[in-house]
């Protein structure tokens, strides 16, 4: 569904097929509640619900280089990733070597890895130093291009068109979600409207969960049969 269809479906579920003065919600005027804004809020909420079940749908990768004597790297400024939502994992990216993982730690775990303050060398771990800032420890002692490959979840863009859809021109009309889950967006919109009007949201919440469960149990649970589900120990997977 495109944004126009999402508005129509939202009104259908609200039994609110007309905008003001007959109906409650105006689509365009900033002085009124904007249904387009509610749709964008709802699609982000649906994404958060879907990520645990279909992480590959919202996954992207980036390669990043390291510089000698620099241990902290900002996701947007230093690595130029502007749609970052959440990191999944970071892996070594050296030609001819195994793409083992770089282990993630909390700041209070650095001492467990015998890493001293200001130590330089081959990074053993990565951590969050601040919002959108990755820290590598020990601090890299060499400059190496595309040294690591990161997997991350991207932030889906807001819808800003009704019918045109050209992501390369920053025109978005269709949610980047599986088609079968588009209906969750207007359902979530209705739930938010019910909360605002202090109406009971239990029925619409149940309706939402039923649609999510149907997609999760009957579609997202399908996986390739020709795959190995065996996993080595953590010690074998990280370097």
Model pLDDT for residues 85-134, shown as the tens digit of each residue? 999 999 999 999 999 999 999 999 998 988 889 899 999 999 999 999 99
- In this model, does residue 63 exceed pLDDT 90? yes
Q: In this predicted model, what pLDDT tens digit does every residue of 188-205 receive, in sequence order? A: 998 888 776 666 778 888
Q: In this predicted model, what pLDDT tens digit does every residue of 2-19 receive, in sequence order? A: 999 998 898 888 876 555
Give pLDDT, residue 193: 80
Range scoring the smallest mean pLDDT among 26-30, 55-59, 141-145: 26-30
Give pLDDT, residue 123: 95
Give pLDDT, residue 28: 56
SS3 237: helix
Res. 239 pLDDT band, cuts 50 70 90: confident
Residue 157 burial (C-beta neighbours within 10 Å; 0-12, 13-18, 19+) = middle
Tell me which DSSP letter residue 15 carries. T
Between 137 and 192, name the one with better pLDDT: 137
Q: pTM here?
A: 0.87
Q: In this predicted model, what pLDDT tens digit does every residue of 152-200 receive, in sequence order? A: 999 999 999 999 999 899 999 999 999 999 999 999 998 888 776 666 7
Highest mean pLDDT among 65-74, 187-196, 206-215: 65-74
Give the separation between CA 56 and CA 43, rounded to whole angstroms.
Answer: 17
59-79 b/e with 16+ CB inside 10 Å = b?
eeebebebeeeebebebeebb
Average of per-residue pLDDT values in the chain: 88
Q: Is the dihedral of CA 59, 63, 67, 69 positive or negative?
A: positive
Triad 42, 48, 49: Cα angle to 5°: 90
Token pair of 106 as six digits = 């909390």
Give the separation between CA 204 and CA 8, rounded to whole angstroms.
Answer: 17
Give pLDDT, residue 15: 74
Between 234 and 149, name the one with better pLDDT: 149
Give pLDDT, residue 237: 82
């Amino acid at each position: 569904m495109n944004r126009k269809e999402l508005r129509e479906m939202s009104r259908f579920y609200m039994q609110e097929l007309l905008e003001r003065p007959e109906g409650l919600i105006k689509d365009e005027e900033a002085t009124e509640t904007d249904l387009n804004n509610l749709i964008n809020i709802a699609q982000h909420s649906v994404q958060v619900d879907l990520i645990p079940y279909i992480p590959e749908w919202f996954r992207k990768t980036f390669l990043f280089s390291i510089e000698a004597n620099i241990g902290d790297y900002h996701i947007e400024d230093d690595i130029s990733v502007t749609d970052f939502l959440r990191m999944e994992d970071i892996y070594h990216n050296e030609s001819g070597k195994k793409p083992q993982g770089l282990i993630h730690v909390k700041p209070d775990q650095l001492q467990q890895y015998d890493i001293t303050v200001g130590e330089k060398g081959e990074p053993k771990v990565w951590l969050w130093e601040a919002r959108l800032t990755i820290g590598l420890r020990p601090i890299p002692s060499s400059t190496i291009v595309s040294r690591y490959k990161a997997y991350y979840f991207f932030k889906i863009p807001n819808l800003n068109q009704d019918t045109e859809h050209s992501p390369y021109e920053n025109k978005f009309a269709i949610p980047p979600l599986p088609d079968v889950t588009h209906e969750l967006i207007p359902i979530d919109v209705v739930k938010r409207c019910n909360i605002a009007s202090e109406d009971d949201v239990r029925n619409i919440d149940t309706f939402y969960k039923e649609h999510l469960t149907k997609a999760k149990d009957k579609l997202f649970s399908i996986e390739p049969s020709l795959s190995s589900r065996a996993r080595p120990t953590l010690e074998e997977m990280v370097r």
